[in-house]
Amino acid sequence: MSLTRTLILLVASFVMLIACAAATWSYVESNHELEELFDAELAQSTRIVQGLVQHLASTRTSEELAAVLRQTLQLPHGALDEGDYDEILPDGTGHKYEKKLAFEVWSANGTPILDTLTANDDQALNPGYAWSEATGFQWRTFTLKDPQTGYWIRTAQREDIRQELSQELALGNILPLLAAMPLLVIAVAFAIQMGFRPLRKLEKPIRHMDPVNIHALDTRHAPREVSGLVGAVNGLLTRLDDALERERRFSADAAHELRTPLTALRLNLEKIDERHPGEFADLTASVDRMVHLVEQMLLLSRLESGASACPEDHSLSDIVAQSIADVAPLALQKRIEPSLEDRTRPAIIRCQAPLVNTLMRSLLANAIQYSPAGTAVDTRLETSANGYRVLICDQGPGIPEPAREKALGRFTRLDQRQGAGAGLGLAIARRIAEMHGGKLTLLDRPDGQSGLCVSVWFPHGH
């Protein structure tokens, strides 16, 4: 898992956890505060009725007082109906939430004056808050006794209405937070992605850095938190470049120093062979192999140093055909028939033709060297994935799939009993392909027979 994804998941999880905890706490607190507010409203409504009772008791008889209270405080018929209608009652007679309130009034001697609650009135009249059951609902009540008139006054609210209103208001407080959570998570992910942009900028030059052009990373835009790491990487790159340069210099110098004495040795062997024909044939073959190894080392050194001409557009078909012609004498010695199947129109690639010719000759020579006498080496050129693919197949022993990557390394010969090379041919071929933006891979024969196929892909020419 990437560091970016890990941070996004962790931060988003913590943000959502904290937001959920905050929303839960806000919901509980809002419910509690709204219950307190409803209780305060209940007490306030009771005191308003108390003021009305005080005023009427001084000017009206008990019967007139009861009539005025019923006329004023009795709920409209529509408010008592549980039907499905808007909050405003028909004809504008009131609001349906008026049914959340009910009123009871008793005289000083306990005679009921007003009862819109129809609750159990047998319970003792005690001042303060209480719970009562009436009309199939729980009611929150507040009772007080008017000290001036001696009347008892009670106001009640339906509990389900209280809960409905408190939940709606509480949800109204937390819904914006809940709705903002996805946006917050997206913002966190975007912020982390933006925060890691400097690291991706540092990664890009390392990913595309060529071994022949190793250079230090630009530390000007490196975040302070990774400046030490960038400095350590720059030190490592410097040491690596020095080591590679020493290796390239050693290979080139050794090859140059060996070429002269080997050439002299070869000339001396030719003179001796004139006096003693065939007596030193094995020694001459060994010297020839050493000369070939030196030539390969020099070529590899030039490839690694990057010293080469500018590429130009060339016909890959012509290069492959010329390479087959170049190895024809070697094929003739083993009675091997090389063939070419060109399925492309003029296949134009941008390359250094001598290097690509060297690559093809090396692969064809390997195929001929490891193929039994009297067999065939098939070469096919075809269009493939924005480029061209050359497929060279032999009928030799092949290379097991687990060992193929190793076979592409330098100085690697899987079977010392076969061939006379030094194990540089495939390494040089792959390096040439990579220099041209291509790719070299080892495959099984598509027909299932014994042997090995080498696939080389080149991009289209520009």
Interval 160-186: pLDDT, tens: 877 777 777 777 777 777 777 788 888
Indicate whether 220 belongs to any domain. Answer: no
In terms of pLDDT, which residue wins out, 134 or 364? 364
**Residue 418 counted as domain residue:** yes
- In this structure, the answer to whether residues 145 and 70 fall within a common structural domain is yes
Based on the fold, state whether residues 380 and 431 are members of the same structural domain: yes
Q: Are residues 36 and 70 in the same domain?
A: yes
Confidence grade of residue 80 (pLDDT, cut at 50, 70, 90): very low
Q: Which residues pair with 40 in a beta bridge?
A: none
Number of domains composing the chain: 3
* 388 burial level (CB within 10 Å; 0-12, 13-18, 19+): buried
If asked whether residues 171 and 233 sit together in one domain, one would say no
The residues pairing with 133 across neighbouring beta strands, listed in sequence order, are 138
Does the structure show a pLDDT above 60 at 78?
no
The pLDDT value recorded for residue 379 is: 93
Phi, psi for 195 (deg, rounded to 5): -65, -30
In a domain, 341, yes or no: yes
Could you say which of 305, 333, 364 is where a domain stops? Answer: 305
Please report, for the domain that includes residue 439, its CATH number: 3.30.565.10
Alpha carbon distance 135, 10 (integer Å): 53
Angle at 406 between CA 400 and CA 407, to 5 degrees: 70
Residue 408 lies in a domain: yes
Domain stop point among 118, 147, 179: 179
What is the structure's pLDDT at 417? 41
Task: Indicate whether 223 belongs to any domain.
Answer: no
Residue 146's domain comprises 3-179
The reply to whether 213 falls in a domain is no
How far is it, in rounded angstroms, from Cα 230 to Cα 223? 9
Based on the domain organization, do 378 and 339 belong to the same domain?
yes
Same domain, 43 and 71: yes
Residue 41 in tokens: 């409203």
Please check whether residue 172 lies inside any domain of the structure.
Answer: yes
pLDDT tens, residue by residue, 84-143: 445 555 555 555 555 577 888 888 887 888 877 765 555 578 888 888 887 778 888 899
Contact 423/411 with Cβ under 8 angstroms?
A: yes
Indicate the pLDDT class of residue 380, thresholds 50, 70 and 90: very high
Same domain flag for 38 and 138: yes
* CA-CA-CA-CA torsion sign (347, 352, 357, 362): negative
**No. of helices (H) and no. of strands (E), the chain:** 12, 12
Residue 261: is its pLDDT beyond 70? yes
Q: In this structure, are 32 and 174 located in the same domain?
A: yes
Q: Are residues 280 and 382 in the same domain?
A: no
The domain boundary, picked from 246, 281, 305, lies at 305
Contact assessment for residue 372 and residue 335, using Cβ atoms and an 8 Å cutoff: no
Residue 87's pLDDT is what?
A: 57
In a domain, 168, yes or no: yes
Q: What is the mean pLDDT of residues 251-263?
A: 66
Is residue 248 domain-shared with residue 324, that is, in the same domain?
no
Report the CATH number that the domain containing residue 31 is assigned in CATH.
Answer: 3.30.450.20
Rounded Cα distance between 445 and 378, Å, is 11
Residues 35 and 79 in one domain: yes
Domain with residue 279: its CATH number is 1.10.287.130
Lowest mean pLDDT among 18-22, 252-256, 372-376: 252-256
The answer on 78 and 8 residing in a single domain is: yes
pLDDT for 416 equals 43
Q: How confident is the model at residue 62 (pLDDT cuts 50, 70, 90)?
A: confident
Mean pLDDT of the chain: 78
**195-209, 241-255, 257-271, 422-436: which is most confident:** 422-436
Residue positions counted in the chain = 462
67 vs 119 pLDDT, higher one: 67
pLDDT at res. 462: 61
Query: pTM score, two decimals?
Result: 0.46
Lowest mean pLDDT, pick from 129-143, 255-269, 356-370: 255-269
The pLDDT value recorded for residue 107 is: 85
